[in-house]
């Protein structure tokens, strides 16, 4: 579920699982450096789990070949069980209930095609997206996507959903677009896009948590 990025926006970088299981590290890694990384990741996890912090980062760069690059990343933890979260986020018809930025949503399950008409700050864009679901492990769900029509054609990314204990789900997103000229109007700067993305991600989290608590 995404707005240019959304939760979209998720394979951001190496993270340690909250249950204390660390991803494997090179045998010759510097112990001091590993400890520092563990402390930083522990603080990050606490910020997301206890203080409900959302991490959103948007970067635009001029590449050596004179093309431009847009990279968007997001990570957060929702207070909802993994299976509940998956059921909610894969029902794309609910996107319009999450935020008014989603003007129109059409999803075809037979070929995993998603059409979005999104708008913000007077700017409207149509996005035709090809989705691909991956669930190699029972408790890790990954959604790969690419925009193959519209102004953001060529943008691609993935979202990863992972259970944290029995009551929480971590959502990670990462997306990237390289183009001769990024299709962003002057009114939507990198900072504005980051603030807007954070706002939509926050609404998404609230929606998931609220829907998850409703009686079955």
Distance, CA of 156 to chain centre: 12
Quick count: other Cβ atoms within 10 Å of Cβ 164? 19
pLDDT of residue 71: 92
pLDDT of residue 158: 94
pTM: 0.76
Weakly modelled stretches of the chain, pLDDT under 70: 1-29, 51, 136-138, 186-187, 216
Helix 82-89, helix 190-213: angle, nearest 10: 120
Instruction: Give the 3-state secondary structure of 114-182.
Output: EEEEEEECCEEEEEEEEEEEEEEECCEEEEEEEEEEECCCCCEEEEEEEEECCCEEEEEEEEEEEECCC
pLDDT of residue 216: 67
pLDDT of residue 168: 93
pLDDT of residue 137: 65
Q: What is the pLDDT of residues 149-159, one digit of tens each?
A: 988 899 999 99
End-to-end, the C-alpha distance of the chain in Å comes to 22
Quick count: other Cβ atoms within 10 Å of Cβ 27? 5
* Sequence-distant (≥ 6) Cβ neighbours of residue 132 within 8 angstroms: 112, 143, 144, 145
Task: Dig out the tokens for 108 from the structure.
Answer: 């075809």
**C-alpha span between 114 and 123 (Å, rounded):** 20
């Amino acid at each position: 579920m995404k707005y240019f990025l959304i939760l979209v926006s998720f394979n951001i970088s190496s993270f340690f699982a909250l249950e204390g299981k660390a991803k494997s590290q090179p045998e010759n890694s510097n112990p001091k450096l590993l400890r520092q990384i563990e402390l930083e990741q522990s603080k990050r996890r606490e910020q997301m789990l206890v203080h409900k912090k959302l991490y959103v980062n948007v970067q635009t760069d001029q590449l050596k070949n004179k093309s431009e690059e847009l990279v968007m990343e997001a990570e957060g933890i929702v207070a909802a069980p993994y299976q509940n979260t998956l059921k909610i986020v894969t029902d794309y018809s609910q996107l319009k209930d999450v935020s008014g930025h989603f003007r129109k949503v059409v999803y075809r399950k037979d070929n995993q095609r998603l059409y979005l008409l999104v708008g913000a700050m007077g700017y409207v864009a149509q996005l035709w997206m090809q989705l691909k679901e991956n669930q190699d492990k029972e408790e890790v769900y990954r959604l790969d996507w690419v925009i193959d029509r519209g102004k953001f054609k060529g943008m691609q990314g993935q979202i990863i959903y992972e259970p944290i204990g029995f009551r929480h789900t971590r959502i990670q997103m990462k997306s990237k677009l390289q183009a001769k000229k990024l299709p962003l109007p002057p009114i939507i700067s990198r900072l504005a896009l980051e603030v807007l993305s954070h706002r939509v991600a926050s609404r998404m989290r609230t929606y998931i948590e609220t829907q998850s608590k409703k009686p079955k």
